[in-house]
Structure formats: C-alpha cells, structure tokens
Chains A and B, each alone.
Chain A
C-alpha cells in the first residue's frame, strides 16, 4: 500500500533476466494476515509452469502482484528482464492475464470484448478486429461472437477471457484457475491451445487445484503453502518418483484419516 518503491531485496540473488518471470523476496500482508511470505521463483522461458497449493495459500495473490494488479509490500518481480513495478506499462505489454474471480465487461459481445482488449493494449482497430476473429475461430466461439458475454456459459466465459489475454500476443501467459467450471471438452481444447502456444515459444503459468491436470500438462511445477514455496522445479523433480498429488499432500499436510462422526454413517 506504500508508494511505488518496492522494499530492499532480502534475497541474495538478483532476479534472473533470462527467466520469463523471476520473483525475489515477494511479500504481501493484508492487515494481520500474511498472504505471501517471501516467495522466490524463476519460471524459465518457454516452460509450461504449474502453480499448485491449497486454498488461501497465496497463489492468486502472487499472480496478481506478478501481473501488476496488486502492489507488493516488498520484493522484486521481473518479466523477461523488465521490472514489473518500475515499468508497469512495458511489463504489461509482455504478459497476458486470465484472472480468477474478476468480472468481464459482459455487456459487450464476445467480438467487441476481445477487440476492446486489443485496442486497450494499443493495437490499431483493424488489427484488433482481425485478431479477435482469429481467436474466436480458434476457441470455437465464432457463432457466439455476436452474443453478449453476460449470456455466455461459464466455459464460454473462460474462453473469451482467454482470448482477451491472448489478443496482444504476449510472451508470457498467466492463467489463474483457467479450468475451473469448464467442461471436460472445452478444457481439453483450451489445453491444446495452451500447449501450442508454449511450443511456439511462449511461457505459460497456470494455477490450479487439479494435481492430475498439472502433472499431465506442465513441465515445471511449484507447490505453494502458507505464502511460501515448499517445492519447485521440473514436475519429475518435484514429485520425486511418487505422484504429484501424494507429494503435494506430503508437503502441505492437512490430510485426516478419520471417517467423520458416527451419525454421518447412513448404514
């Protein structure tokens, strides 16, 4: 909540300029609650990076700070070598964001919304319209392009939000819970698109609750718990021979093996 200056870097290493996203000593508190307690993270360029953690672990807070939506209390974030909070506009040109739990301008049609996002990013109108058309085709939304977004289903809404994140051809894509309330078919389609984007040299960061999905889709993963990173690296490194889900539960804890109170047993 203070000024534009972020605090001194508490960690020894400066942020990596090769990484697509590099975070050092990131801290954010809300009142008495510490949401992010000193996160260091490097996301290699071209990687498909999963960010997993229990509810309230600080995933969304971290990603919000990394994309210029929430001012950090301390720490440095750089995207492809650009310090996010020193050069907000330059950094935002490099990154596309799909936020969880924010509304869209849903009184616009799908086509208008994507065009709007493109023009806000500084594309000229002809270019924005053309890209909006391409994105709608890619996401199977062409027939819904003239429908108001408020009348879209949850899955279509996620897809149009993804189109808004992609329209300015970002080098880094940050997706917060992109598969929540999306049906399996749409989710598979979105996965294909993201995989294609990563193959083309883009970097994708996905936060998710689904270990299974992250294990199949991502090549890197970081496990966040109580505002800190408890494990990070390639998926194979992190899961260390076990499944990602078992490893996650082992690191984060909190599993209980009780059967619940007796009155809950119907037989």
Chain B
C-alpha cells in the first residue's frame, strides 16, 4: 500500500507537470537548484572533514538546525512549493491510518526537497570519517534528522491550518501564524549578522542550538567523536523526543483532518442589517465598495495582506535600528507598504473566484467594478499610509521632511491602486479559495502572480516618477516649499492616476470580462 501511494504521488506530480509547462520549468529549475546546493554541500563536507572538531560540530549543528527550520517555514511562506497527497481525498479508500501515515511520510521524504535533504544529510556523514564510531552514529542521526524535517513540517502545517475547529478559529490561526513567520526572517538575519560580525560567537550559538530540538540530532555525532558520552545520550534523547512529538502532533492532525468535517456550523452567528451596504453611496460602485470592504474585514486572505502593511514598516525600522541606524529605512518601509497596498486590488478578481460571475450576469459596468474595488482599499489604505508616514517621521524626528514624505507615500499608494485596477482586469492567477488556508500552495501560481505584482509595481513606479523626482529634489535642495509642492503634486497627480487607472481598467474589464471568468473557472 505504501508503495502504491508513493507512486501515486509521483504519478500525480508527473501528470500536473505535463499539464502545466510553467510548473515543469519551475520543477526543473528547482531540481537544478537542489542539485547545485547538494554539490556545494558535498564539497563543503569534504573540506570540513579535515577541519578541527570544534568547527565541525558548530557547522554541522548550525546547518542541521537551519535545515529543520527551513522545512518548518518553507510550506508556510512559499507558493506552489509542493504537491503532496491530499489525505482528505484518500479518506474514502479502505486504507488504515497507520499505512496512510507511513505513506504520507514516505512521499514527503521522496519529494524533490526530501531527496535533496536526505542526500545532504547522508553526505554530511563523511565529515566523521576519521571517527568510525561517530560515523555510524551519524548515519542513524541523519535518518532521525531527515524524518524530523518531514514530520515537523507536517506537524506545523496541521497546527497552522487548525483543521479541528470551526471556520472562524481556523481562519484566525491562519493569520496569527503569519506574524511570527514574517518576523522570523529579520530575527534570523539579525542573529546571523551578529554572528558574522563576531565569528567567535558561532560555536556558542550552535552550542545552545545543539540542546534544542532543532540541533540535537546533528550534535550527537560530534559528542561521540569527542567522547562526551553523557552529552551524546542526552542529545539523542532530545532528538528522539522531538521526533516523537512531531509524529504525534502530525498524527493527531491527520486523524482530525480525516474524521472531522471541514466546515462546522457550530459558530454560526446571525448578523442583522446591511452592514457596509447601508453606509456607501447608493450606486453599483457603492455596492462593489461595500462588498469589498466586507471582504477586507471578514476574509482572512485579505486580512493577511492588511497585516503585511504595518509589518513591512516594523521590519524596515527593525533593520534600521539593528543596522547603522540609517533613517531612510523606515521611510522605505512606508513606501513599500504604499506599493503593497495595491496587492489587495490586483489579486481581487482572483480572490472572487467564480463568484465573479455575479458581476458578469448582473451586467455591472467595468468602471463601477474597478472604482468600487479601488475606493474600498483607498478608503482605509490611504489613511493607514498617512498614519504610518507620520509615525515613521515621528520616530526619525525629521519633522521638516513630513510634507515631502507624505507626498511620496500618498502619490505611490494612489498610483499603485490605479495600476492594479488595470492589472487585475488583465491577469488572474490561482489563489487560495475562500475558506482555504491562505498558505495552501497553489500549483502554477508563482509565475502569473509574480507577473501581476511586477506589472503593477513597475507601472506604479513609472506613474510615481514625477513625485519621486520632486521628492529627491526636495532632499537635495532642502527647500521646505518644494516639500509642500511634493505633497500637493503627490495627492493631485496620484488621484488623477487612480481615476485614469479606473477608466482604463474599466474598459479592459468590459472587453475581457468573459475571458476573466473562463480563466477563473479553469
């Protein structure tokens, strides 16, 4: 049975690659990348095998910890990364839970990332060729490490998708997971930056990591080589306990996924009244705006994008303070946030999914559709950008720069909304469906979604050139008057560009509506 299911995984991967050439390209690039990394790793291990024992232990533990961490994080942040067997689709077949569990683990190990990880872990064993006993122990520990990678990844997936509970809880956990994941990047970079500047700290860091679930398995061979038997036994216990916990969590997640229905009605609440619909202008545009705003509040896929905006500013401020205290970084964060404001619009039609058919059957005009969506985002997005800009200026203390900075951020926000109003009528791409885990990978999405993003951001950059040039002139000349002019130009030109984007986007939408729907259906 295990063999059948594992071969099914490869069969379905192969079929989807044949179906989607871009995914095939992605898989080939991924495989080449994996092979390259593997070759580098083998060379590195060969060199390391003649290095001093302390360095060997530090590098192996550090690399192993990063490996496990990568397995945990990758599925949460990467789009279209992996296609695995869906346990829910297998649930009608008479397959025992145990063999299903083993099959899913095996198919996880035998994917492209799994194979590369396994080979790398096996290759790391050669580091210990001068210590035969450590070499044998390292083989066992490599197996434990690889299994921990796969099971920890699954365990975190099942935790983050919170399959056990009702819809609202599931959606909430999906978003909450995002925040630490987003912040993990700078923390790791900050830590590794610190480590790089004081190279001597590395053994200390890995010494600590070696006692954590991340590094324990990789630290055992080093202990054996050094003859530290007690430490070796203790770390082996930690490693085995980690593996056991990961297996148990994933096993439970799998059981819940198979036994409890995906949708629970227990938390159904009744809302009275029209909500947003009574607060917008009495027109099709107003209706679209109300619907959009309702979704921004209720749909976790939108909320996820909303959280990213302040996080970007926090991230950039973080870099600025851990780095050389460069005051331009937080401002860059707000500018990035202004760009990303449009991501809610260029993915908007894709997020509608086939529900978009209602817009087509009711014959709503493109301009009303575009305007409603853009105004919904602008209604809270522009104030948010203003607040973020003021906050950043307050932190950096450069009050005189406020008008110019505001002009740039507002100008970019409006221009990117205008650009996105056109791109979302041109490109739709696979996204998580309403109610799905926002992190669920969508095969074939990487390329079109990147295209949509680059197109929007590129167009927005061109549209924002006037205000950008003014702002740079302001900085160079230090003229307060120019700062105020930047503000006025940012607002006026930005608003004009937004209107232009809505009109052009509306024309595109009127022409291509049925084609958009066809793409959403496939």
A112 adjacent to B363 (CB under 8 Å): no
Docked-complex contact B435 and A150, CB < 8 angstroms = yes
Known: A68-B514, A69-B357. A146 touches B271 (CB 8 A): yes
Give the docked Cα–Cα distance between A68 and B361 (Å).
Answer: 7
Let me know if B291 and A147 touch, CB within 8 A.
no
Bound-state CA distance A111–B291 (Å) is 12
Q: How far is the CB of A85 from chain B (nearest CB, A)?
A: 9
Known interface pairs A92-B362, A103-B355, A151-B268; A122-B274 also in contact (CB < 8 Å): no
- Whether the pair B357, A112 counts as a contact (CB closer than 8 A) is no
Is A68 touching B282 in the complex (CB atoms < 8 A)?
no
User: What's the least CB distance linking B269 to chain A, in Å?
Assistant: 8
State whether B288 touches A120 (Cβ < 8 A): yes
Chain B: CB-nearest residue to A108: B294
Contact: B294 with A107, CB < 8 Å? yes
Q: Given A93-B363, A107-B434, are A147 and B277 also a contact pair (CB < 8 Å)?
A: no
Judged by a CB distance under 8 angstroms, whether B287 is at the interface is yes
Q: Is the CB of B355 within 8 A of A69?
A: no
| Residue of chain B at shortest CB distance from A105 | B355
Least CB distance, A47 to chain B, in whole angstroms: 21
Is A89 in the interface zone, CB < 8 Å from B? Answer: yes
Q: Contact check, A112 vs B268: say whether CB atoms are below 8 A apart.
A: no
The answer, among B272, B274, B364, B514, for a CB contact under 8 Å with A115, is B274
Which residues of chain B in 240-295 are interfacial with respect to chain A, using CB atoms and an 8 Å cutoff?
Answer: 263, 265, 268-275, 277-278, 282-284, 286-288, 290-291, 294-295
Contact in complex: A69, B361 (CB < 8 Å):
yes
B482 within 8 A of A: no
Q: Is the CB of B514 within 8 A of A107?
A: no
Q: Which residues of B contact A151 (CB under 8 A)?
A: 167, 263, 265, 268
The answer to whether B361 and A92 touch across the interface, beta carbons within 8 angstroms, is yes
B131 within 8 A of A: no
Known contacts A116-B290, A147-B270, A150-B435; is-contact A99 B357 (Cβ 8 Å) = yes
- Asked whether, in the complex, the Cβ of A119 is within 8 Å of the Cβ of B358, the reply is no
Q: Is A88 an interface residue (CB 8 A)?
A: yes
Give A62 to B86 CA distance when docked, in angstroms: 34
Determine whether B360 belongs to the interface, using a CB cutoff of 8 Å to chain A: yes
Chain B residues numbered 66-97 whose CB sits less than 8 Å from any CB in chain A:
none
Q: Are A164 and B514 in contact (CB under 8 A)?
A: no
Q: How far apart are the CA atoms of A89 and B291 in the complex, in Å? A: 21
**B355 and A104 within 8 A (CB):** yes
* In the complex, residue of chain B having the shortest beta-carbon distance to the beta carbon of A125: B282
Asked whether B196 is an interface residue with its Cβ less than 8 Å from the other chain, the reply is no
**Given A107-B298, A112-B277, A151-B265, A117-B358 contact (CB < 8 Å):** yes
Chain B contact surface mostly: helix
A1 within 8 A of B: yes
A67–B362 alpha-carbon span in the complex (Å): 10
Residues 5-30 (chain A) with a chain B CB within 8 angstroms: none
Which residues of chain B come closer than 8 Å to A241, judged between CB atoms? none
On whether the beta carbons of A70 and B363 are closer than 8 Å, the reply is no
- How many angstroms between the C-alpha atoms of A147 and B287 in the bound complex? 19
Q: Is A159 an interface residue (CB 8 A)?
A: no
On whether A129 and B511 interact (CB within 8 A), knowing A108-B294, A116-B291, the answer reads no
> Given the known A-B contacts A69-B360, A99-B361, are A112 and B282 also in contact in the complex, defined by CB atoms under 8 Å?
no
Kindly provide the distance from the CB of B509 to the nearest chain A CB, expressed in whole angstroms.
12
A147 and B60 alpha carbons, distance in the complex (Å): 55
With the chains together, A4 CA to B263 CA distance in Å?
A: 42
| Residue B223 lies at the interface, judged by CB distance under 8 Å to chain A | no
A106–B433 Cα gap in the complex (Å)? 11
B274 touches A111 (CB 8 A): yes
Q: Which of A70, A120, A146 contacts B270 (CB 8 A)?
A: A146
A116 touches B277 (CB 8 A): yes
Q: Does A171 contact B (CB under 8 A)?
A: no
A interface residue numbers (CB < 8 A to B): 1, 4, 67-71, 88-89, 91-93, 95-97, 99, 101-109, 111-112, 115-117, 119-122, 124-125, 129, 146-148, 150-151, 164-165, 168
Q: List 11 A-B contacts (CB under 8 A).
A: A68-B514, A93-B363, A97-B357, A102-B354, A102-B521, A105-B295, A107-B434, A112-B294, A120-B358, A120-B359, A151-B265
Q: Beyond the given A71-B514, A112-B294, A150-B435, could you list 7 further A-B residue pairs with CB under 8 A, ordered by the A residue number?
A: A67-B361, A70-B514, A92-B363, A97-B361, A105-B355, A120-B364, A125-B282
Q: Which 7 A-B pairs have the closest CB atoms?
A: A92-B363, A119-B287, A102-B354, A120-B362, A146-B270, A97-B361, A103-B355
